[in-house]
Amino acid sequence: MGFEELPPELLHLTLRFINNDRATVSSLYAVNRRTNGSVRQLVYQSVILYSTRALGSFCDVITLLQPSYSTYVTQLSITPRLETWVNTTDSIPYLPLSEGLAVHFRHALGALENLKSLSLVVTPTMVREILDNLIPPFNLETFNHSGEFSYPLLRFLKKQPSIIKLGFGPMDEYNYEQWYYAIASGTPILPNLTHLEGSLRFTAIMMPRCPISSISASSSSRSTMEAFGDFIARSMVPITRIRIVEDTPGLAWVRLLMSLRAHHTAASNLRELTVDKIYKSGVDDAKRRSDEEFLLSSCSTIFQFDALEKLEFNIIPFGQGSHHGPTPADACTWLAAHGMQDLSAWRVYNPSLRTVVVYGHVVPEAQPT
């Protein structure tokens, strides 16, 4: 019996296990009418559109060719391919859209009644065009956008009280002020928001107004990071997860940890901490490697959190050219040199730690003697 001849129920169950292999699923979708019917729901359940051509085709399917497929879509993302992010010289390589395509996409969005996750890595102008006059039939749980303030975006957020995770791009001083006055003086929005990704300043605006327990933010100046620790101490609910993206060389994020330690209540609630370090080509990697080793030698004084269960450091290459960030082997050597090679050493000041990952190296439990 050929694979395509399996009973529909078994075929669908099998394909759910290989759904991460998009190439295989897409190939089976095109084999024949029978496999097409079995795989269709999986193909349209999570849609990632990397080009304007793909976006146009998707809109045609949803609005004209196969409107019934709209019920399958629960996750939708418009974003450039990964290599575009890695090789770009800009902070965010937005996918360029024409006004006509943005309007076409708005019509398609209006048909996606089961949509739960939406990511729009397009210019702020196109975000405004897409959301203007949109009557959403869906209730989102996750939403990512470019960050700039607009009234169509504000109205859209007010219509989505179901959002629990919000991500946003960079913004200038004008946009910070616009967001602040709109949120501080207007009707409360996003009452169920628990996870926020973006700049520290916008996070500080939202924390007193939403039950945010998990934050992901870019590292800022030392003074800003230190002040943000005070905001966390006064948050609506305890902050249990923090992810910091260090996009410039330095250890400014350490100021945040030191500030948290000064507030015992805030420090006693933190359970997960992730630090993602962006390594750009052309930067003095040798000095940064030296800084990384110094950081690891100071772990016993920096990390002292009773409830901390997971600590992770990652390297993210960015831009064209070679990168010489620390490797798992480097991390293993450095940790051993400072007596931090197993979890027992980390638990001296962080008794709840279960997982420590340093630049790809998973710190093991102590070996029995």
The range of the structural domain enclosing residue 360 comes to: 271-369
Residue 72 to residue 45: CA distance in whole angstroms: 5
In a domain, 289, yes or no: yes
pLDDT at 82: 58
Tokens 């948050």 belong to residue: 235
Mean pLDDT of each 10-residue bin along the chain, 369 residues long: 49 50 48 55 84 93 92 93 50 83 97 97 94 96 92 95 93 88 85 92 86 86 74 82 81 79 78 86 67 73 86 80 75 88 91 93 84
pLDDT at 142: 98
pLDDT at 52: 92
Report CA 59 to chain centroid distance, whole Å: 25
Q: How many domains does the chain have?
A: 1
pLDDT at 361: 93
Cα-flanking dihedrals φ and ψ of residue 276, to 5°? -100, 120
Tokens 């391919």 belong to residue: 81
In a domain, 153, yes or no: no
In a domain, 242, yes or no: no
Residue 109 to residue 134: CA distance in whole angstroms: 8
pLDDT at 241: 94
In a domain, 348, yes or no: yes
pTM here? 0.82
pLDDT at 320: 60
Which of 120, 185, 177, 197 lies closest to 153, judged by CA?
Answer: 120
In a domain, 115, yes or no: no
In a domain, 217, yes or no: no
In a domain, 275, yes or no: yes
In a domain, 258, yes or no: no
